[in-house]
Amino acid sequence: MSGIIQLLPDHVANQIAAGEVVQRPASVVKELIENAVDAKATEIKLIVKDAGKTLIQVIDNGLGMNVTDARLCFERHATSKIRHAEDLFALHTKGFRGEALASIAAVAHVELKTKQDQEELGIHIIIEGSKVITQDVAVLPKGTSFLVKNLFFNIPARRNFLKSDNIELKHIIDEFERVALAHPTISFTMISNGSEVFNLPSSNYRQRIVNIFGGKTNEKLVPVTEETEILKITGFVGKPEFAKKNRSEQFFLVNNRYIRSPFLHHAIMNAYDGLLRDNNQPSYFLFLEVPPHTIDINIHPTKTEVKFDDEQALYAILRATVKHSLGMFNVAPILDFERDANLDVPYDYKDKTLGTPTIQVDRSFNPFETENETKKYSGSSVSYTKNKQAQPHWESLYTNLKQEASEVSVDAFETDLVASTLFDDKSTESQTLLYQFNRKYIINSIKSGLLVIHQSRAHQRILYEQFLTNITIYQASSQQLLFPLEIQFSRDEMLYLKEIQPNLEGIGFAFEKMGLDVLIISGLPAQISESNVTEILHDLIYNLQENVPEDSFSLSDSISKFMAKSVAIKSGKYLNTIELENIVNGLFACKDPNVSPFQKPIFITLTTEDLDKRF
Ligand code: ADP
Ligand code: MG
């Protein structure tokens, strides 16, 4: 019987290999730009149409190729960059596998034009699905142009799998930024659907960062430098107060190559210890140089992960260097006598200081209103207000009481109950009593016992249902702003906002302009105030990026959820009677008042029997 094993034909093997290298248009962009850098270009131009789905072109003024190389470059394992396995340990180029062009040519229509400086004429080759269609000589400028059309034309499943244009374009921009950042002396331009997205002249690192991330970045940057035998660090970290929710401005470039390293990231976070508010992320643009033989970049096919010989030492050096740079920046302003001393307290400790007592003002409180009004303050406060009707300092009594309660003093709780029963008159039986406990829960006395409502989750539920309805029926009311609000975003954040523009408008946002890196808002949803809209939108983008929704329903759902979460009142917020009532009434008008949009319980009931059992 004859053998059953066959060698796969080249074009099939290439298609399979392509699966690893070419996942989306952005992968093509990365490979082509990196090749242009390796070819020593000083100017690189990227042109895309429909987020690279229709066309990707990279034009460089680099070394170009001769006829033989122009044909050979599409073969698998055809590379000019390594000759021996040992060369892998002394890499100075981006490419080395000789796989990219073979893979791209297997899944797209490719047109190559290339000419070397010393040649009169260049070569023009057209390849479709690994097959050479034409090969001519042509009059060309020095350098190389790769044109990639109809990506995945022969793998429809892959094509369908691609995300929307805005999302794919965001990936392209990510790759573009990474290479552009690593090579500030090369000038880069990027054009998408006929309009210029980036125009980055040859410059130094600092200018390159500012040109990519916007003029305001300059004031954020703290320089970092260190040179040891095993590691040289240059670059910048962001001042802590500019830290943001997302990680879009975090870059490690090791030997001029963008890499991801959770380990080194950890070292940086460690250096920022105590300086960051909440879970904010610092910006960093760090250029690390290590001897090539001490890293292995070969462990990941898309080459964004590397392995270092001596990770522990790198960690320690990086952490200490960043800490030192931040320290230099922190120390300098102390000479400024105007400086507010509070700013010197790390955020971690800020909340821990014994602050001066806060005074709570209930603006809806009217001292001239009599019993009916004050009676609404349920439970313990009722007992006190009844004793001294409309006494002007009742608020402070109320606050003190709550502080006692927060110390979980059982005694106090008991006295409260006793006190309120003492003063309970018949009429309150039928009335709903609301009381805010520990600035976190709303206690509602109902016929069968007590209802304990989590104020923040209840508000999340109310907002979530409002937002979701509004997105779906597109009928939200919008409050027009007197002066339009201008907010800066990075380019990829702007793309995200464009992606969700219809949903945001559904909720009640009105936009005057959606630029490349600026958003002008002319109207806001009723639930959102001008002062926190910037943070809310940044949070939203961050959350959506972390949990990419699969379809349009889950997109609307996620937007409503995360919006509700950041807009909802938080635990710790004092609520007046009207607010308490609004939340309770709003909650029980919801379709599903039981659980928060994140599936957490919103309230519990304590029945009279439950209570009786405890006595
Ligand atoms: P690799 O970059 O790993 O060598 P590629 O498939 O990306 O593999 O490229 C194959 C070869 O084609 C390269 O080694 C290089 O010699 C040549 N090449 C590719 N792009 C260019 C370019 N823009 N200019 C000059 N030569 C190029
Ligand atoms: Mg390459």
Segment 422-436, tens digit of pLDDT:
333 444 444 567 999
* 3-class SS of residue 35: helix
Q: How far apart are CA 272 and CA 239, in angstroms?
A: 10
Same domain, 31 and 151: yes
Distance from Cα 65 to the centre of ligand 1, integer Å: 9
Q: Which residue owns the Cα nearest ligand 1 atom 17?
A: 73
Average pLDDT over residues 581-594: 94
**pTM score:** 0.71
487 vs 524: CA distance, rounded Å: 13
Domain-located, residue 99: yes
- Among protein residues, the one with the nearest Cα to ligand 1's atom 14 is 79
- Does pLDDT of 103 surpass 70? yes
**Boundary of a domain, candidates 287, 303, 328:** 328
The percentage of the chain sitting over the pLDDT mark of 90, rounded to a whole number, equals 52
- Going by C-alpha positions, the residue among 601, 482, 592, 584 that lies closest to residue 530 is 482
The one-letter code for the residue type at 151 is L
Residues 512-559 have pLDDT tens digits of: 999 888 999 999 999 999 988 998 998 898 888 777 777 778 889 999
pLDDT band of residue 363 (cuts 50, 70, 90) is low
Q: Which ligand is nearest to the CA of 113?
A: 1
Q: Is 100 in the pocket of ligand 1 (CB under 6 A)?
A: yes
**CATH number, domain with residue 71:** 3.30.565.10
**In Å, how far are 338, 481, 510, 519, 523 from 484, measured between CA atoms?**
33, 6, 10, 10, 8
Ligand 1 and 192: CB distance under 6 A? no
Domain count, the chain: 3
| Pocket perturbation via mutation, ligand 1, pick of 46, 60, 75, 79 by most ligand atoms within 8 A of CB | 79
Residues, CB-to-ion distance under 5 Å, ligand 2: 35, 95, 100
- Shortest-distance atom of ligand 1 to CA 35: 20
Last residue within a domain, chosen from 311, 328, 345: 328
Place of tokens 């690593």: 182
**Residues 160 and 298 occupy one common structural domain:** no
Q: Would you state the pLDDT for residue 478? A: 87
Residues 174 and 31 in one domain: yes
Q: Are residues 243 and 173 in the same domain?
A: no
Q: Is residue 426 part of a domain?
A: no
Atom of ligand 1 nearest to the CA of 78: 10
Packed helices 533-546 and 491-499: angle between N→C axes, nearest 10 degrees: 80
Question: Which pLDDT belongs to residue 298?
Answer: 67
Q: Tokens in use for 112?
A: 């190559």
**Is the separation of the CB atoms in 21 and 164 below 8 Å?**
no
Q: Locate the DSSP E strands across 216-375.
A: 221-227, 232-238, 250-254, 257-259, 284-289, 295-296, 307-308
Q: Which residues of 1-32 are buried (b: 16+ CB within 10 A; e: fewer)?
A: eeeeeeeeeeeeebbebbeebbbbbbbbbbbb
- 265/155 same-domain check: no
Judgement on whether residues 243 and 189 belong to the same structural domain of the protein:
no
Q: What is the pLDDT of residue 299?
A: 61
Question: Which ligand is located closest to the Cα atom of residue 30?
Answer: 2
Is residue 346 included in any domain, yes or no?
Answer: no
Whether 381 shows a pLDDT value over 70: the answer reads no
Identify which of 35, 75, 115, 145 to mutate to test ligand 1's pocket (most ligand atoms within 8 A of the CB).
35
Domain that holds residue 309: 213-328
pLDDT in tens, 194-238: 988 999 999 999 999 999 998 788 999 999 999 999 999 999 999
Q: What is the pLDDT of residue 339?
A: 40
In a domain, 361, yes or no: no
Does the C-beta of 60 come closer than 6 Å to ligand 1?
yes
150: left (phi over 0), alpha (psi -120 to 50) or beta: left
Cβ of 384 less than 6 Å from ligand 1: no
For residues 61 and 195, state if they share a domain: yes
Residue 34 sits in the same domain as residue 180: yes
CATH number at residue 217: 3.30.230.10
Q: Which of 66-70, 96-100, 254-258 has the lowest mean pLDDT?
A: 96-100
For residue 2, being part of any structural domain is answered with no
Residue where a domain stops, chosen among 313, 328, 343 = 328
Q: What is the pLDDT of residue 368?
A: 55
Distance between Cα 75 and ligand 2 center (Å): 12
pLDDT confidence of residue 130: 86
Residues 165 and 226 in one domain: no
Measured in Å, residue 32 CA sits from the centre of ligand 2 at 7
| Helix (H/G/I), strand (E/B), else coil: 525 | strand
Copy the structure tokens of residue 153. Answer: 């034309």
Give the pLDDT score at 490.
Answer: 84
Whether 268 and 138 share a structural domain: no
Q: How is 412-454 classified by DSSP, letter by letter?
A: HHHHHHHHHHHH--GGGGGS-EEEEETTTEEEEEETTEEEEEE
Question: Which pLDDT belongs to residue 292?
Answer: 85
CA-CA-CA-CA torsion sign (269, 271, 277, 283)? negative
* 458, 579: one domain: yes
- How far, in Å, from the CA of 81 to the mean position of ligand 1? 8
The burial of 139, by beta-carbon neighbours within 10 Å (0-12 exposed, 13-18 middle, 19 or more buried), is given as exposed
From first CA to last CA, the distance across the chain in angstroms is 88
* Residue among 38, 69, 75, 144 to mutate when testing ligand 1 (max atoms within 8 A of CB): 38
Q: Does 334 reside within a domain? A: no
Residue 496 in contact with residue 544, Cβ under 8 Å? yes
Alpha helices (H) along 260-309: 262-271
Six token digits for residue 601: 């319980």
In angstroms, what is the span from residue 79 Cα to ligand 1's centroid?
Answer: 6
Query: Looking at residue 222, what is its pLDDT?
Result: 94
Residue 35's DSSP bridge partners are none
Contact 174, 142 (CB under 8 A): no
488 and 600 share a domain? yes
Distance from Cα 289 to the centre of ligand 1, integer Å: 24
Instruction: Give the mean model confidence (pLDDT) for residues 177-196.
Output: 95
| Residue 460 pLDDT class (50, 70, 90 cuts) | very high
Q: Helix (H, G, I), strand (E, B), or coil: what is residue 124?
A: strand
Mapping DSSP to helix (H, G, I), strand (E, B) and coil, where does residue 567 land? helix
Could you give the angle at the alpha carbon of 259 between the alpha carbons of 254 and 261, nearest 5°?
Answer: 105
Ligand 1 atom at minimum distance from 60 CA: 23
pLDDT digit string (tens) for 32-76? 999 999 999 999 999 999 999 999 999 999 999 999 999 999 988
Establish whether residue 73 lines the binding site of ligand 1, counting it when its CB lies within 6 angstroms of any ligand atom.
Answer: yes
CATH (domain of 495): 3.30.1370.100
Cβ of 125 below 6 Å from ligand 1: no
Out of 29, 42, 101, 104, mutate this one to test ligand 1's pocket (max ligand atoms within 8 Å of CB): namely 101
Please state, in angstroms and rounded to a whole number, the distance separating the CA atoms of residues 370 and 376.
Answer: 11
Cα–Cα dist 422/445, whole Å: 16
Which two three-digit tokens encode residue 30? Answer: 């990365």
Question: What are 485-503's pLDDT values in tens digits?
Answer: 999 888 888 888 988 999 9
Residue 425 placed within a domain:
no
pLDDT at residue 352 above 70? no
Burial 355-373 (b: 16+ CB within 10 A, else e): eeeeeeebeebeeeeeeeb
Instruction: Tell me, yes or no, whether 72 lies in a domain.
Output: yes
